Amino acid sequence: MISHLLLDIEGTTCPVSFVTDILFPYAKSELSNYLERHQDNPSICQLVNNAEAEWNDDKDKASISLRLALEESKQPKYLKIGAYLQLLISSDKKSTALKDIQGKIWRAGYTTGHISSELFEDAHENLKRWHTKGYKLAVYSSGSVEAQRLLYKYTSKGDIENLFSHWFDTHIGNKKNQKSYTTIASAMACKPRNILFVSDNREECDAAKEAGCLTLYSLREGNPQIEPGEHPVILNLADVDQWLTPKR
């Protein structure tokens, strides 16, 4: 019996366009100034160090070229790391350190009112309904847990952060790795078979299915991937209900 709903964000509860057209450009434009303003903040310094460690392990030719070009530069460390993070943003490369720093920047944007999140029209109603029915709601996204919480706290229709009981990002593991979903099941004190995972990415659904989860593929207008493979397709979060066992 399904007791837990594990949800992706982008392309599932939130339009891809909000992330690509609002969140990412905002973080990119604020990145350098943010790192400069917080260069003496211990927690931000740790994130910068994490980014530096990732950079040192990054075998991408562009990353190596940038590192060599800046090796002898007398620029402050935060500027060098900022240049590397801008490269990651431009190449749309996944980076846990980048996601963590973006989350901090977005927090500033949300709390000052410069941005508010946009969810699909059907998201608010269905999330609240599932929560009321007793299902445990959880998030698994490549964006940092901080960014996830902010997105649901500062929606254009109000704060719904409290609907979710668990939050997972790439610190738990790669979303395309089967082990990540068994680890998540353990963290939620349930079996993989009790989890319904919804995502707009086939490889993520493949990994979750291999772990024993029930999977649904979110096929929304504007989603970049439209290949569900063997996974059942939903066009709207209301479609999820037919896969849920009524709770007594």
Q: What is the pLDDT of residue 246?
A: 58
What are phi and psi for residue 144, nearest 5 degrees?
Answer: -60, 155
Q: What is the mean pLDDT of residues 95-119?
A: 93
Where exactly does CATH 1.10.720 map onto the chain? 21-111
Q: Residue 203 above 90 pLDDT?
A: yes
Q: How confident is the model at residue 22 (pLDDT cuts 50, 70, 90)?
A: very high
pLDDT by residue (tens digit) across 133-176?
Answer: 999 999 999 988 999 999 999 999 999 999 999 999 999 999 99
Cite the residue boundaries of each domain of the chain with CATH code 3.40.50.1000. Answer: 4-16+118-243
Rounded to whole angstroms, the Cα distance separating 127 from 165 reads: 12
Say if residue 79's pLDDT is above 80.
yes
Is a pLDDT exceeding 60 seen at residue 248? no
Q: What is the pTM of this model?
A: 0.86
Kindly report the CATH class assigned to 4-16+118-243: alpha beta
CB 117 within 8 A of CB 107: no
Contact 196, 243 (CB under 8 A): yes
CB 100 within 8 A of CB 146: yes
**pLDDT, position 114:** 94
Query: Nearest to residue 3, comparing CAs of 133, 181, 128?
Result: 133
CB-CB contact of 13 with 119 (8 Å): yes
Confidence of residue 94 (pLDDT cuts 50, 70, 90): confident
Average pLDDT (68-97) is: 91
pLDDT confidence tier of residue 177, bands split at 50, 70 and 90: very high
Average pLDDT over residues 200-212: 98
Quick one: average pLDDT of 24-30?
A: 93
Within 10 angstroms of residue 176's Cβ, the number of other Cβ atoms is 14
Written out in words, the top-level CATH class of the domain with range 21-111 is mainly alpha
